[in-house]
Structure 1
Amino acid sequence: MMSSSLDKNKRSRGIRGRCLWCVNCVKWIPVLFIVTIVVWSYYAYVIQLCFLTVPNAVERVFYLLGYHALFIIFMWAYWQTIFTEIGRVPNQFRLPPSEVEKLAEADTEDAQRQVLERFAQNLPVTNRTVTGAVRYCHKCQHIKPDRAHHCSVCGECVLKMDHHCPWVNNCVAFTNYKFFILFLGYALLYCIFIALTSLKYFISFWRNELKEMSRFHILFLFFVSVMFAISLVSLFGYHCYLVLHNRSTLEAFRAPVFQAGPDKDGYSLGKYNNFQEVFGDNPKTWFLPLFTSLGDGVVFPVRAQHQPSSYNSMGSTQTSCEEQLERSPQPSPALLVPIECPA
């Protein structure tokens, strides 16, 4: 009996393993589609347009240099977006088994809330749920850092999650958000460059001045580049807007909640500072697919009214005696009375 049950378990694990393998393969289909389009565009532009259609040598060299410069940096950014590991929640946010047991034994929502508040009181968290409770992931069994969310596709919580993108088969989050923005920007420039440089020969197509073999490649090259450019303009523009306002896609749809309430601009520190938070403080590396984002993906600068020094993780006011003295109107020397601050 035991051997038969063990065999059944092995078979079920084998079936699950094969299913997961198939699902993982399916996830790569959108990426393979993009790569196929890019490989074909390379052949159509370099071979069919530049070498077989463009008659002028100077024009051909200009086209090839410009194209390859954009092609290399575009594919570099795409590679970085796909293969950069997502930021994972540090172990300090994970509840130990004893705390998980206390949470499971808590009968009421208030009791569960108290368990989480006690554990989170020394953690750098300022975000709350809509009810004001500490954000907790029941699947990962840890407190969620600010701006972190659970991705159902990746099966784990991701630091500063923006969204899960099937076209890169990865979460777009803290570690690769800069790469994603550059990927969109360079993809747009790549499409615009192809459309502009092939326009003259696209017009020649309608005049029947092109060779039979190259004419259809150039026709589709122009149409595909224009189509992708139109779709990329709105997407790239939207993410530029998010960068300048220091919001993620998720935060744009649902404002992050602080102790003082929801605030869609809670992380906005001014457009230049917001830009630097994603692209870094060195202008030389802003437009290179190198990781230069500021911070660790766990703690983020917030506006003054949401700063952790003004309240603890349990949401209570925590203004120090020294801060009270600084904010109080200064009396005249004759009215000064010694004030004792508690230790």
Structure 2
Amino acid sequence: MAWNLFRFCAALRVRVLGSVMILLVLAVVGFTYYAVVVTNYWPAVLAGGVNSYYAFAILIPFHLLLVMLLWSYFAAVLTNPGRVSSNWRSDVDEESGDPLVLTGLELSKPMLNLQQTASLVGSGIQKIRYCRKCNQLKPPRCHHCSACGRCILKMDHHCVWVVNCVGAFNYKFFLLFLFYTFLETSFVTIILLSNFITFFNEGEIPASPESLATTFLTFVLNLAFALSVLGLLVMHLSLVAANITTIEASYEKKTTPKWRYDLGRRKNFEQVFGIHKRFWLIPAYAEEDLRRMQTLHGLDYPSKPESDSQHY
């Protein structure tokens, strides 16, 4: 009972924190929208004249980036990162790439218990990945998330900002969220910077004190987000280029220096974003990619032969 109560409290804490983080993201977006559109550029559009064309030209990319940011964000939040089927089992030894001769009654069952797993390991088969918390087999690159309480396919990390695990099915959406957040916050920082340059050059306040305070706070907030997201984006793009997740880079690669999933930057990139270029910048996949690329389903990952991974 105490254990169940602990899990209930942990799940409640995750849900409450998740709701707060979503509201925080929406609050930052709303505050930025108010400062950019309502306070600065929409009044300039209504005023007419030459400045109205400039203001209108600013608002178009601002709204486009904002739509892509929110689309990517909610795609990362609402998409299941990847759940392991209860009857999944591997036919391949993921360490060596050789077929596993596991046709006995133990693996014909949808679930394994600890005694069955121990008997398999004791019989000489030691390359099977098994989750004792979920009481089931784990596919390659799958890890258990304590926050979600289940195993996640190709788990990268549990992100409090998207209130979800980042895994096989939503990693692309998470990266696009970072990408469009960086573009949007950088764009806002640049367009609001002109207000301060005008103020210091002319020595007068170009707007009311309230508008100036709102603009200044928005400028600082977006500058801070742009710099922080840039570092995170660069880190994740380097992980994509090497076809490795945050968890794998932190733990598994230390014990597996010859990383077998690194197939080259192009193929590594396509395993996350797909083959069709027109879908690379939107949080969606082409139907052909979902049909042809097994890696997008989070269960099967091609690896290079042992002889080709000596450089790692």
Please indicate the TM-score interval, normalised by the length of the shorter structure: 0.7 to 0.9
Contact 1:162–1:172 (CA under 8 A) maintained in structure 2: yes
Tell me, in whole angstroms, the C-alpha distance in 2 between the residues paired with 1:263 and 1:205. 56
**1:209 aligned to 2:205?**
yes
**Residue identity in the other structure for 2:156:** D
Q: Where does residue 38 of structure 2 map in the other structure? A: 47
Secondary structure at the counterpart of residue 298 of structure 1: coil
Please point out which of 80, 93, 99 is paired with 2:75: 80
Tell me, in whole angstroms, the C-alpha distance in 1 between the residues paired with 2:54 and 2:128. 62
Compared CA separation, residues 281 and 116, structure 1 to 2 (3 A): farther
TM-score, L = length of structure 2? 0.79
Compared CA separation, residues 265 and 13, structure 1 to 2 (3 A): closer
Give aligned pairs, total.
Answer: 275
Compared CA separation, residues 226 and 116, structure 1 to 2 (3 A): farther
Tell me, in whole angstroms, the C-alpha distance in 1 between the residues paired with 2:240 and 2:305. 20
Compared CA separation, residues 227 and 264, structure 1 to 2 (3 A): farther
Please point out which of 155, 158, 169 is paired with 1:175: 169
Deviation at 1:286, TM superposition (A): 0.7
**Residue identity in the other structure for 2:243:** N
**Residue identity in the other structure for 1:100:** N
User: What is the CA deviation profile of residues 152-176 of structure 1, one whole-angstrom value per residue up to 9, with x for unaligned ones?
Assistant: 0000000000000001110000000
Deviation at 1:298, TM superposition (A): 0.6
CA RMSD of aligned residues (A): 2.8
Compared CA separation, residues 299 and 306, structure 1 to 2 (3 A): farther
Alignment of 1:26-37 (within 5 A): 26-37=17-28
Tell me, in whole angstroms, the C-alpha distance in 2 between the residues paired with 1:37 and 1:13. 36
User: What is the CA deviation profile of residues 209-247 of structure 1, one whole-angstrom value per residue up to 9, with x for unaligned ones?
Assistant: 322231111111111111111101110011111111101
Tell me, in whole angstroms, the C-alpha distance in 2 between the residues paired with 1:101 and 1:181. 37
Secondary structure at the counterpart of residue 283 of structure 2: coil
**1:219 aligned to 2:199?**
no
Q: Where does residue 304 of structure 1 map in the other structure? A: 305
Contact 1:103–1:115 (CA under 8 A) maintained in structure 2: no
Contact 1:159–1:298 (CA under 8 A) maintained in structure 2: yes
TM-score, L = length of structure 1? 0.72
Tell me, in whole angstroms, the C-alpha distance in 2 between the residues paired with 1:189 and 1:101. 49
Contact 1:165–1:172 (CA under 8 A) maintained in structure 2: yes
Q: Where does residue 161 of structure 1 map in the other structure? A: 155
Q: Where does residue 100 of structure 1 map in the other structure? A: 113
Tell me, in whole angstroms, the C-alpha distance in 2 between the residues paired with 1:19 and 1:91. 24
Larger radius of gyration: 1
Alignment of 1:1-343 (within 5 A): 20-21=11-12, 23-52=14-43, 56-93=51-88, 96=109, 99-100=112-113, 102-103=115-116, 111=119, 113-114=121-122, 117=125, 133-206=127-200, 207-212=203-208, 213-256=210-253, 262-263=256-257, 265-292=259-286, 294-295=293-294, 296-305=297-306
- Which moved further from structure 2: 227-236 or 261-270? 261-270
Tell me, in whole angstroms, the C-alpha distance in 2 between the residues paired with 1:63 and 1:160. 39
Gaps in structure 2 of 5+ consecutive residues:
90-106
Q: Where does residue 95 of structure 2 map in the other structure? A: none
User: What is the CA deviation profile of residues 49-95 of structure 1, one whole-angstrom value per residue up to 9, with x for unaligned ones?
Assistant: 11246771111110110100100011100010100012111233376
Question: Percent identity at matched positions?
Answer: 33
Tell me, in whole angstroms, the C-alpha distance in 2 between the residues paired with 1:220 and 1:241. 32
**Residue identity in the other structure for 1:303:** K
Secondary structure at the counterpart of residue 262 of structure 2: coil
Deviation at 1:28, TM superposition (A): 2.2
Gaps in structure 1 of 5+ consecutive residues:
1-8, 118-131, 308-343
